[in-house]
Amino acid sequence: MPFLRTAKEQPTAPLHGFKLAYPMVSADGLRGGFSGITIGRSSVYGVTADATCAQGARHRSPSRWCDCGFYCMHSIDDARALSCDQDYRYAVILEVVASGRFIRYERGLRYAHQRITAVRAGRCGCGRPAAMFTETAAGLVGWRRLMGACLSCAGHRPAIRLSEFARMLGGPPVTPDDIAQPYRCAEPHAPAAAPGAVAGSALEEADRAAMVPLLSAEVALLQARLDEVQEQLARLTASD
């Protein structure tokens, strides 16, 4: 039985996708870049880059016999879902245009050449949208890994604003992700009282009702004593 080769796909438009990556800054603080979140985390790439085999093989990437190459997803929702994983929560979302050799898989592409068109920073660790990047404890030779932080959490630590990181990249805009908004706080309500507190409140009301006539009697007695003192004072002053 003859082997039937499927026709090679010839895309008529650029292939767009979304991927996660870690933001990086060079040791001299002058250049920005990205590293992969899995097999590509041992190297740093810029706005435009060609894939090479992470295993050191000399074949062209991507190869069907290897897991090398750039990866991206078709849907930004899939990229956001992956960023919820605790291992990737400080990664950013890159919007890319893929070209060259490519292989399709269920949710995206594995490809040879990419150009980054936009960078979306996610949430700070506190849940607020990131406004800048601060350093982490991780990095590579010549590069330091960054993570998103809000103004409050960044505090007095050295930080790179998103607009400044975009300048370091020399190209695509860097903005907070559209969905990276803080959670809505519930409307404030009075806390529910515990059963003991309810009983104590009822007892307090009963005590208050009983105290009113007693206090009224005390006030009347004080008023009578004050009237007596005033009369005695009047007699003393009149005799002088």
Name 176's Cβ contacts closer than 8 Å, sequence gap at least 6: 120, 121, 122, 129, 130, 131, 162
Question: SS3 of 111, please?
Answer: strand
- pTM for this model (two decimals): 0.70
Three-state DSSP at 210 gives: helix
Q: Where are the extended beta strands (E) located within 46-186?
A: 48-50, 70-73, 92-105, 108-121, 132-140, 143-149, 159-161, 174-176
Tokens at 39, concatenated:
């097999």
For residues 38 and 91, the answer to whether their CB atoms sit within 8 Å is: no
What average pLDDT does the structure give for the chain? 80
- pLDDT for residue 167: 96
Q: Tokens 């003192």, residue? A: 229
Apex 142 CA angle, 82 and 22, nearest 5: 10
Instruction: Return the number of other C-beta atoms located less than 10 Å from residue 135's C-beta.
Output: 16
Omega prior to 195 cis, within 30 of 0: no
CA distance 71 to 94: 11
C-alpha dihedral over 25, 50, 119, 80, to 10 degrees? -110
- pLDDT by position in tens, the chain (length 240): 444 444 456 666 779 999 999 999 999 999 999 999 987 788 999 999 998 887 777 788 787 888 788 999 999 999 999 999 988 989 999 999 999 888 888 889 999 999 999 999 999 988 899 999 999 989 999 999 999 999 999 888 889 999 999 999 998 999 999 765 555 544 444 444 444 444 444 445 545 555 556 566 666 666 767 777 677 777 777 755
- Residue 6, pLDDT score: 42
